[in-house]
Amino acid sequence: MIPTHWFLILSAILFTIGVCGVLTRKNGITIFMCIELMVNAVNLTFVAYARQFHQLHGLIFVFFVMAIAAAEAAVGLAIFISLFHHRHTIDVDEANLMRW
Amino acid sequence: MITFAVFFFFAAIAVIFAATVVLHRNPVVGALSLVASFFALAVMYVLLEAPFLAALQVIVYAGAIMVLFLFVIMLLNLQHQEEPRTRPVQQFLGYTSSAAFGLALIYYLAKFGVTQLPDGPFVSDARTVGIRMFEAYIFPFEMVSILLLAAIVGALLLSARTGATGVAPLSAGTTTENLAAPHDAAPRIEVAP
């Protein structure tokens, strides 16, 4: 049986890669995919601790996180389609109307 | 011992394809790499004795959500669009700060994380998860269904094209125009011949 902290370290690595992508990329859809990566890293942590402590709450929370990630992806991609129709780009630096 | 080999193989696959998502310039390659990374994470769920969640991961994430991403990328023709380079200072700051964050995370996980193995097998098939969800978590479940409905309506409204070139938006004005149209059109047909 594989120890729990190995899964946690893998989850930390994946979360860090996602943070790195959000900080350095400019393509809006790539930033969205990096957010999905971070969500999945957190899901892995939930499942690892659920097995460690023999609790089903972690698994059910992962189910809810998946549903909310689906809703977030649908609304976010619709926002990017709308942005593309107005600006003809999805570069997030171009969408600076609400910047200070 | 074979489980350790499987773990390291698929952990390497997950990390390599996740890095490809961040480093590759083409968003189509990024989306397909993310699908591969999600499949490797489904294998991790199987190793964690949660086969139901592994199936959900493949169906919902790798199947539905990533198809939505690929669909939008193809719809907007983004694979030919050149992404501007990030400025070097910002790129350096992003890489170093995220590396520091990740190293701190791994350090504290290794220092304070649980190290003893869990005792005994963990039953988490669809039956036990479903019974727990529909007994204790029925109210959040209904809330999530309402949230998904709101997301559908929001996505439809946001992606409906407005303006001169597109389809008419969902507004109150369209019904009165449709009602007025036959009265305007009828005299024109009589006048035309």
CA distance A99 to chain B (A): 18
ipTM over 0.85: yes
Q: Report the Cα A95 to chain-centroid distance in Å.
A: 21
Phi, psi of B117 (to 5 degrees): -75, 150
CA–CA dist A89, A35 (Å, integer): 20
To test the contact with chain B by mutation, choose from A7, A15, A16 the residue with the greatest count of B C-beta atoms within 10 A, namely A16
B129, B132, B136, B141: CA torsion to nearest 10: 30
Q: Where are the domains of chain B?
A: 1-81, 123-159
Instruction: Locate B136 and state its tokens.
Output: 């204790």
- Is the model more confident about B81 or about A73? A73
Span A76-98, pLDDT tens digits: 999 888 888 888 888 888 877 77
What's the pLDDT band for A72 if we cut at 50, 70, 90?
Answer: very high
DSSP type of residue A29: H
Q: CB count, 10 Å around CB of B17?
A: 21
- Is A33's CB within 8 Å of B21's CB? yes
Question: Which of B83, B124, B163 shows the shortest C-beta gap to A59?
Answer: B124
Secondary structure (H, E, C), B151-184: HHHHHHHHHCCCCCCCCCCCCCHHHHHHHHHHHH
| B residues 82..141 contacting A (CB < 8 A) | 83-84, 86, 90-91, 93-95, 97-99, 101-102, 105-106, 109-110, 113-115, 117-118, 120, 122, 124, 128-129, 132-133, 137, 140
Report if pTM > 0.95.
no
Give the H or E element holding residue B13: helix B2-23
A55: Cβ contacts below 8 Å, ≥ 6 apart: A49
Q: Determine the CATH number of domain B1-81.
A: 1.20.120.1200
Q: Which domains does chain A have, with CATH numbers?
A: 4-87 (1.10.287.3510)
